[in-house]
């Protein structure tokens, strides 16, 4: 990271080799689309390179990259939502319910991952903050405090978001285990 902060591009590859899979999984869990997830990996490391000077040398790299990756994923989701809204106005609410109820990413369809497709639909139905909290807790094993810091929200908001997300996912996925 120190080399990166000094603008040495050669330092990118070892950093990416160590972290790109995890960054990809965070983005994929959030966006549910492999191409979008790859774009987020790219943008995460571009940001990491540009802002390496701000990284606190006493802290670990992984949570710092996680924070960038989640914010990039949310940004990308918002951009995509705006693009869809321009094409066809959505109902009220800050999440894309049509995506949640109908569209399964073609990659998952092609591979016949029925379970993945159902989780895909359910997660995509969540509002962006609830989805980020759920992904960070259950895909990244982050503590509630770490999630609050990564997303810049209060601990109480993290708890209520996690509860609402879990409640909604239970409702949508109940058929899978019952």
Partner 1 sequence: MSLRGFLHERWSTQVTLLASGCLEGAQRERALAHLKACADCRREHDEVLALLHVVAQDPARTATPNVAVQYLVTRVEARLDSVIRSRPWRWATLGAGLAIGGLVAALLPRLMPGPSPSQTPAAPAVAEVAMDDAALRRLERVMAREQAVRYLAEAADVMVNLNAQSRPCPREHAHVELEAEVQRSRELVSRRALLLDLEEENLLPARDVLVDVDNVLREVASLQSCSRRDELDRVRREMEERQLLMKVRLLSRELVS
Q: Which is nearer to partner 1, 90 or 109 (CB)?
A: 109
Tokens of 15: 């950093």
Distance in Å, CB of 57 to partner 1, minimum: 22
Distance in Å, CB of 159 to partner 1, minimum: 6
Do 100 and 132 form a contact (C-beta atoms < 8 A)? Answer: no
**3-state DSSP assignment of residue 42:** helix
Nearest by Cα to 4 from 71, 51, 58: 51
Do 44 and 69 form a contact (C-beta atoms < 8 A)? Answer: yes
- Greatest C-alpha distance within the chain: 55
Q: Which is nearer to partner 1, 63 or 116 (CB)?
A: 116
Distance in Å, CB of 32 to partner 1, minimum: 7
Interface with partner 1 by CB under 8 A: which residues? 9, 12-13, 16-17, 20-21, 24-25, 28-29, 32-35, 37-38, 41-43, 45-46, 49-50, 103, 106-108, 110-111, 113, 115-116, 119-120, 137-139, 143-144, 159-160, 162-163, 166-167, 169-170, 173-174, 176-177
Mutual angle of helices 144-151 and 61-87, in 10-degree steps: 60
């Amino acid at each position: 990271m120190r080399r990166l902060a000094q603008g040495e591009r050669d330092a990118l590859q070892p950093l990416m080799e160590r972290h790109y899979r995890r960054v990809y999984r965070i983005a994929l869990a959030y966006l549910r689309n492999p191409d979008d997830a790859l774009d987020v990996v790219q943008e995460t490391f571009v940001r990491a390179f540009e802002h390496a000077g701000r990284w606190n040398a006493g802290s670990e790299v992984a949570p710092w990259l996680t924070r960038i990756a989640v914010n990039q994923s949310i940004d990308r989701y918002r951009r995509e939502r705006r693009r869809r809204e321009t094409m066809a106005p959505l109902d009220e609410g800050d999440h894309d319910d049509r995506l949640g109820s109908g569209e399964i990413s073609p990659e998952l369809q092609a591979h016949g991952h029925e379970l993945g497709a159902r989780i895909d639909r359910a997660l995509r139905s969540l509002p962006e903050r609830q989805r980020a909290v759920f992904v960070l807790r259950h895909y990244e094993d982050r503590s509630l405090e770490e999630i609050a810091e990564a997303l810049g929200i209060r601990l109480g908001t993290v708890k209520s978001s996690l509860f609402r997300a879990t409640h909604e996912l239970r409702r949508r996925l109940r058929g899978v285990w019952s």
